Amino acid sequence: MQSGLFIRSLRRVSPLRQTCRYSSTTTSNNAKPYYITTPIFYPNSVPHIGHLYTLVVADIFARYARIRHPGRPVTFIAGTDEHGMKIAKAAESKGMTPLAFCDMLSEHFKGLGQKANISSTKFSRTTSREHCDAVQYLWRQLDAKGFIYKDSHSGWYSVSDECFYPQVQTTTVVDSAGKEQRISIESGSTVEWQEEENYKFRLSEFQQVLEAHYARNADAIYPPQHHEAILHQLRTAPLQDLSVSRPSSRLSWGIPVPDDETHTIYVWIDALTVYLSSIGFPWPNREKMLASGWPSDVQVIGKDILRFHAIYFPAMLAALELPFPQKLLAHSHWTMDHRKMSKSIGNVVDPIAAIDVYGIDIVRYYLAEIGGKFRDDVGECLSGAAHLVHITSLLGNLLSRSTSKAILARVDLTRRLVYGEDPSLDGRPLVALLKALPAEMDAAMSELRVSDALTHIRAALTAANVLMTEARPWDKQTPPAEVQAVAQLVHDTLRICGVLLQPFMPSKAATLLDALGVPEDCRKWEHTDVTRAPPCTGIQSGVILFPKIKPTAPQPQN
């Protein structure tokens, strides 16, 4: 069926079954899958390194959840947001229908996920029938509850963001040509004054609900600066009712408003609903909702779409009496020349090229280490030489040194020294580091501090390298008891760090654990306890974890 006919046919979709009421935000972690989402990407062009950054961050949390709670299912959604004016215009410029254009570009995003070893469980597209049905159902529910009405609307409209901004969210700047223009403070996009008739959502009715929620849940948005900014907005600037449709004469590529062929549903209402439609919304009862994964545990987004996810989406959920997402991670931007990467500007880095140069695990580690603080924009491109040296020295060289034939010849791998009992292990600083590492790692990941989690791993690896250098277990002058103790301690460090690095560098971590003879069923959270080493199946010597490469800076895409 042609895309236009398919979309228009939805105008006559009959109302679906009545949704249940379950507004409590209290859920049991054991009652539902761990549910994490990325924003669905706008496929008006091929993906860039910023898209990879978001995918990797979400994938780290998904993989960590699988290790931390092996018995708990993980649902991880990524996808593409395929409606809107920009898509229609981009497709027209290519001489393609919008759906054919989206079919082509969504494959690029799927391909990036496969290339980057992203473990998403579903790739959602907003042109799917299940999603379009869910959006129209949600609209009918909001309308039936009296939260949607038709009115004239005027305001500052951004074509690139496809949304209206209130006056207080805009400012006047002078561009490089000396011309004055008004822009959105949040996104930096140019805005223009527009007046038209459309449908509105009674957003203003949810100001107190949202303010109370964020005042009560200080960790609902991370980093804290974004939580404070949203709470400040809610306390100082009255919410205006939200325009939620566009005239079909101006925007035909989208989901039609039920029973009104003259209007198309606002793309952000459409896009935000994907977090629900991807896991079976509408649900007949609370039990089905929890079993699907809702409410989400973590939603990973860019800070430029914070308002949509922190205000508009929760207000929609409150209107439907659905629980709010538990945590929202609004990450920083990956920039070049102090500007957010954008295809329209021409300053984007090709993620596939970066992966081809460095390998995906190095790129993943780099994105997590440099971008995992989330507080500030990242102005470095993927030259990565210093970070390559850092991780290859700490991890790769430590594996090579500790598994050399000279050392393994002096070690009895069948003999296991007991921590807390053997005097050759007692009092060593590295033992204390390893005992504390799992709890420190878990605290950092629970609080969404990805870079800090890596800092704890690096501290253990650094201490192990220092121990190797000081103890010299390869030297025949070193007493056999010392060699045995140092080798065990260093191998335990590599084993524990290997388990904890699986979310960040899945392929390299697997190679590391294979080299150490760690069985595949002994790579979960319980195996990060230094006293619970699994039976060793044999340590391999001569494994090169990081083959030498010639790092070059990936160039911007044309």
For residue range 88-145, list pLDDT tens digits in order.
Answer: 989 999 999 999 999 999 999 999 999 999 999 999 999 999 999 999 999 999 999 9
Task: Give the integer Cα–Cα distance in Å for 198 and 546.
Answer: 58
Strand partners, 556: 349
Coil/strand/helix, residue 283: coil
Q: Which residue has the higher pLDDT, 343 or 515?
A: 515
Residue type at 384 in one-letter notation: G
Residue environment code for 237-250, b if the CB has 16+ CB neighbours within 10 A, otherwise e: eebbbbbbbbebee
- Cα–Cα distance between 38 and 418 in angstroms, integer? 44
The token pair at 36 is 């994490």
CA distance 329 to 59: 13
Identify the DSSP state of 241: P
**Residue 217 to residues 22, 61, 325, 431: CA-CA distances in angstroms?**
19, 21, 11, 37
276-289 mean pLDDT: 97
Please report the sign of the dihedral spanned by the C-alpha atoms of residue 183, residue 189, residue 195, residue 199: negative
pLDDT for 545 equals 94
98-112, 219-233, 234-248, 362-376: segment of lowest average pLDDT: 362-376
Within 10 Å of residue 149's Cβ, how many Cβ atoms? Answer: 11
End-to-end, the C-alpha distance of the chain in Å comes to: 34
What φ, ψ does residue 489 adopt, rounded to 5°? -65, -40
Lowest mean pLDDT among 58-72, 87-101, 239-253, 332-346: 332-346
Q: Name which of 152-156, 216-220, 249-253, 411-415 the model is least confident about.
A: 152-156
The pLDDT score that the predictor gives to residue 336 is 53
- State residue 381's pLDDT score: 53
C-alpha–C-alpha distance, residues 471 and 123, integer Å: 51
How large is the average pLDDT for residues 142-159? 92
Query: Which band of pLDDT confidence, cut at 50, 70 and 90, is reported for residue 204?
Result: very high
Q: What is the pLDDT of residue 386?
A: 55
Alpha-carbon span 531 to 492, nearest angstrom: 9
Work out whether the CA dihedral 107, 131, 121, 303 comes out positive or negative. positive
pLDDT at 8: 37
Sheet-wide strand order for 256-257? 245-247, 260-265, 256-257
Which of 41-55, 95-109, 310-324 bottoms out in mean pLDDT, i.e. has the lowest? Answer: 41-55
- Give CA–CA dist 388/279, Å, rounded: 39
Q: Are strands 260-265 and 192-201 parallel, antiparallel or unpaired?
A: unpaired
Question: Taking every pair of C-alpha atoms in the chain, what is the biggest distance, in angstroms?
Answer: 87
Mean pLDDT of 388-414: 90
Which helix (H) or strand (E) element contains residue 289?
A: helix 286-292
- Dihedral (CA of 151, 157, 163, 167) sign: negative
Helix (H) or strand (E) holding 200, with range, is strand 192-201
Q: Give kind and range of the element (H or E) at residue 170.
A: strand 170-174
Cα 193 to Cα 155, 166, 265, distances in angstroms: 6, 11, 20
What does the pLDDT read at residue 173?
A: 92
pTM comes to 0.88
Q: What is the DSSP string of 473-503?
A: TTSTTS-HHHHHHHHHHHHHHHHHHHHHTTT
pLDDT at 155 over 90: no
Residue 36's DSSP bridge partners are 76, 298
- Judged by average pLDDT, the poorest of 349-353, 380-384, 450-454, 493-497 is 380-384
| Residue among 387, 394, 332 at smallest CA distance from 358 | 387
pLDDT exceeds cutoff 90 at 554:
no
Q: Which residues pair with 195 in a beta bridge?
A: 154
Confidence of residue 388 (pLDDT cuts 50, 70, 90): low
Task: Select the more confidently predicted residue: 544 or 4.
Answer: 544
Residues 326 and 217: their CA atoms lie apart, in Å, by 9
487-523 pLDDT, tens digit per residue, is: 999 999 999 999 999 999 999 999 999 999 999 999 9
Question: Do residues 220 and 213 make contact, with C-beta atoms less than 8 angstroms apart?
Answer: yes
Percentage, residues of the chain above pLDDT 90:
71
- What is the pLDDT, as a whole number, of residue 166? 84
Query: C-alpha distances in angstroms, 522 versus 345, 374, 496, 543?
Result: 48, 32, 11, 20
Task: Determine the Cα–Cα distance for residues 80 and 61; give it in Å rounded to an integer.
Answer: 20
Decide if 349 contacts 48 (C-beta within 8 A).
Answer: yes
**Residue 547, pLDDT above cutoff 70:** yes
pLDDT of the residue at 343: 47
Q: Indicate the helix (H) or strand (E) that contains 339.
A: strand 339-340
Task: Name the residue with higher pLDDT: 334 or 186.
Answer: 186
The mean pLDDT value of the chain amounts to 88
Q: Is the pLDDT assigned to residue 14 strictly greater than 90?
A: no
Q: In the chain, pLDDT over 70 holds for what percent of residues?
A: 87
Cα 482 to chain centroid distance, Å, stands at 44
Q: Where do the domains of the chain lie, and which CATH numbers do they carry? A: 34-143+266-352 (3.40.50.620), 384-527 (1.10.730.10)
Q: What is the pLDDT of residues 408-444, one digit of tens each?
A: 999 999 999 999 999 999 889 999 999 999 999 999 9
pLDDT at 23: 42
Contacts of 518 (CB under 8 A, 6+ apart): 495, 498, 499, 527, 534, 536, 537
